[in-house]
Amino acid sequence: MTELASPPVEKAQDVKRISHWIGGRVVEGESGRSGPVYNPALGRQTGAVDFASAEEIDLAVQAAKAAFPAWRATSLSKKSAILFEVRELVHDHREDIARILTAEHGKVLSDALGEVARGLEVIEYCCGIPELLKGGYSEQASTGVDVYSIRQPLGVVGGITPFNFPAMVPMWMWAPAIACGNTFILKPSEKDPSASNYVAELLKEAGVPDGVFNVVHGDKVAVDAVLEHPDIVAVSFVGSTPIAKYVYETATRNHKRCQALGGAKNHMIVLPDADIDMAADAAVSAGYGSAGERCMAVSMVVAVGHAADELVDAIKERIPNVKVGDGMDPASEMGPLITGEHRDKVAAYVENAPAEGATVVVDGRNGGAPDEGFFLAPSLLDDVKPGTKAYDDEIFGPVLAITRVETYDDAVRLVNENPYGNGTAIFTRDGGVARQFQFDVQVGMVGVNVPIPVPVAYYSFGGWKNSLFGDLHVYGPEGIDFYTRGKVVTSRWPDPATSKVDLGFPQTR
Ligand code: NAD
């Protein structure tokens, strides 16, 4: 095995340069623009990532375009064998990847390993690409005529990803895209870019041909160049709602297929008959895990009827036990936020909560987290009402908010009237109510006593309303559909017995 780039090591005041990966090798950026990369637990800059110009995006597109014909023609069994090798290498190097994630994102190592494990499941699903691309066949659709369907790759496709899952979300995209025979250009988040380069080296080592997988770093300039490039035929995006909408509108205006997943405001409904300890454990885990920087994080807990007081007490009791610290420390359960600026933005929601009529039950600004770095300890707000900023905004930090309602119908109305529709959960012992909830709720991913219902790799991931622009969800069967086009062949072989001139419209009977 060739030598892989080692994960970043914390050396005093090292600032490493992070460059693009094009055509199977590192390509240093020449735009003269770059962005800082931090270790959020230390609060200091550890890297500088090159920002691509439109010309550098074009370089990657040319590499991907050149690689496409041979990759497309590679047999399914060979592609599958390469994907199995990718799976092995990602699995073998999962701890290195996790350490890179923790160093740049801040999430604790166990969480980073969980992220890689969920990404691996998508790669494993894609190892079955020969089965996934099987079409249909109808013999004797008409006399002597057979009809069959096939799915073919699109060409050069792009993926633009957010900071909060720097390894898993790219895997949601590149694994099915290249398994289907496309070549891929990844524009990862500029906040934690190193994992993508590390994975690129693993793909090369696994036998993915040069140019099939490329990484270009950057900001809006790079994104716009991807969205406008005539040779990129489809774009997958995951990020915040305003950018998702912009990406969808720009990509489709440029005649590209696009799936753009946006932000979220996930409600967890707790009915009076719920197991309150189970619900409190779930709310704390799903609200504060990864410092609340998950698109499937629970941010609103809707307490129905008399569940509220007991639930608030149970959550409050658990918060002091959450160990906040450097993600590299195995004792830590919650790490820092991604930047100092974001930490301050999240803290402002707690600051403003009383003026909005809410109660601050636990204030994360009052200690409980290391002083250096971008830390904020968990906060709990009660009586948070729709129409306030703490309710309406996606806070994306360790702030759990409770809202109180009288009935199940009130709770469902809140979820359905919310502009987002990514995830939701109901906590109850009543199977009938849970079934009714699954029927009623206007949200793409639903949990029944499960707070973070991220679908397994053989289903597809995606929200409704402002959480998804486009039609197809990511990975699973819809991911395969997104990265392929259907073709139907109607065929007849020469047979003198049935051959005649007939100018009528073809009929089958
Ligand atoms: P973001 O929208 O700021 O950035 C996402 C990507 O878009 C990055 O690659 C970034 O470089 C690029 N970008 C940022 N501003 C841009 C602009 N003005 N023009 C063009 N491109 C731009 O999101 P983020 O802060 O990195 O990630 C957090 C957000 O992502 C949250 O809203 C979260 O809910 C969402 N998210 C959603 C899902 C999902 O599956 N629905 C999953 C993970 C994260």
**9 falls within a domain:** no
Rounded CA separation 490/150 (Å): 11
Give yes or no for residue 1 having a pLDDT over 60: no
What order do you get walking across the sheet with 484-492 strand by strand? 137-142, 145-153, 484-492
Task: Indicate the residue among 418, 448, 478 that finishes a domain.
Answer: 448
CA of 161 to the centre of ligand 1 (A): 6
Q: Which residues pair with 360 in a beta bridge?
A: 381
To test ligand 1's pocket by mutation, which of 189, 250, 474 has the most ligand atoms within 8 angstroms of CB?
189
Confidence of residue 268 (pLDDT cuts 50, 70, 90): very high
Q: What is the mean pLDDT of residues 259-281?
A: 98
**202 falls within a domain:** yes
Task: Pick the closest to residue 156 from 268, 80, 39, 72 (CA basis).
Answer: 72
Q: Are residues 201 and 279 in the same domain?
A: no
| DSSP annotation of 472 | P
| Ligand 1 and 249: CB distance under 6 A | no
Give yes or no for residue 8 having a pLDDT over 90: no
Q: Are residues 430 and 353 in the same domain?
A: yes
| DSSP annotation of 334 | B
pLDDT digits (tens, 9 = 90+) for 184-218: 999 999 999 999 999 999 999 999 999 999 999 99
Quick one: angle between helices 276-288 and 307-318, nearest 10? 50
Q: Are residues 177 and 202 in the same domain?
A: yes
**300 falls within a domain:** yes
**454 falls within a domain:** no
- At residue 13, the pLDDT reads 58
441 and 415 in contact (C-beta within 8 Å)? yes
CA of 395 to the centre of ligand 1 (A): 14
365 alpha-carbon distance from chain centroid = 29
**478 falls within a domain:** yes
- At residue 233, the pLDDT reads 98
pLDDT digits (tens, 9 = 90+) for 120-155: 999 999 999 999 999 999 999 999 999 999 999 999
Q: Are residues 330 and 368 in the same domain?
A: yes
91 alpha-carbon distance from chain centroid = 19
User: Which of 1-10, 86-95, 241-250 is predicted least confidently?
Assistant: 1-10
In the numeric block, the tokens 């039950």 are attached to 361
Q: Are residues 228 and 275 in the same domain?
A: no
To test ligand 1's pocket by mutation, which of 196, 219, 300 has the most ligand atoms within 8 angstroms of CB?
219
Which domain does 357 fall in, by range?
Answer: 266-448
To test ligand 1's pocket by mutation, which of 163, 298, 467 has the most ligand atoms within 8 angstroms of CB?
163
Q: Are residues 256 and 289 in the same domain?
A: no
Q: Are residues 212 and 358 in the same domain?
A: no
pLDDT digits (tens, 9 = 90+) for 443-494: 999 999 999 999 999 999 999 999 999 999 999 999 999 999 999 999 999 8
Give ∠ CA 261-264-270 in degrees, rounded to 5: 140
112 and 95 in contact (C-beta within 8 Å)? no
Give yes or no for residue 3 having a pLDDT over 70: no
pTM: 0.96
CA of 211 to the centre of ligand 1 (A): 25
Mean pLDDT of the residues in the chain: 96
Q: Are residues 106 and 154 in the same domain?
A: yes
pLDDT above 70 as % of the chain: 97
CA of 260 to the centre of ligand 1 (A): 10
- At residue 4, the pLDDT reads 42
Q: Are residues 249 and 330 in the same domain?
A: no
- At residue 425, the pLDDT reads 98
- At residue 435, the pLDDT reads 98
User: Which of 14-18, 147-151, 265-269, 500-504 is predicted least confidently?
Assistant: 500-504
Q: Are residues 215 and 333 in the same domain?
A: no
**137 falls within a domain:** yes
pLDDT digits (tens, 9 = 90+) for 34-67: 999 999 999 999 999 999 999 999 999 999 999 9
- At residue 210, the pLDDT reads 99
| Ligand 1 and 219: CB distance under 6 A | yes
Confidence of residue 7 (pLDDT cuts 50, 70, 90): very low
Give yes or no for residue 419 having a pLDDT over 90: yes
Rounded CA separation 131/419 (Å): 38
**245 falls within a domain:** yes
Give yes or no for residue 498 having a pLDDT over 80: no
Give yes or no for residue 406 having a pLDDT over 70: yes
CATH number of the structural domain spanning residue 232: 3.40.605.10
CA distances from 261 to 151, 366, 378, 382, 466 (A): 24, 35, 27, 29, 8
pLDDT digits (tens, 9 = 90+) for 345-357: 999 999 999 999 9
**198 falls within a domain:** yes
CB atoms within 10 A of CB 331: 8
Give yes or no for residue 11 having a pLDDT over 70: no
Of all protein residues, the one whose alpha carbon is nearest to atom 35 of ligand 1 is 239
Q: How many domains would you assign to the chain?
A: 2
Rounded CA separation 54/31 (Å): 9
Helix (H, G, I), strand (E, B) or coil at 153: strand
Residue 395 phi, psi (nearest 5): -75, -40
CATH number of the structural domain spanning residue 272: 3.40.309.10
CA of 162 to the centre of ligand 1 (A): 4
Q: Are residues 388 and 483 in the same domain?
A: no
Q: What is the mean pLDDT of residues 79-104?
A: 98
Give yes or no for residue 392 having a pLDDT over 90: yes
Task: Pick the closest to residue 288 from 243, 321, 260 (CA basis).
Answer: 321
Q: Is 127 a catalytic residue?
A: no
| Ligand 1 and 266: CB distance under 6 A | no
- At residue 114, the pLDDT reads 98
Q: Are residues 123 and 208 in the same domain?
A: yes
Task: Pick the closest to residue 23 from 61, 49, 78 (CA basis).
Answer: 61
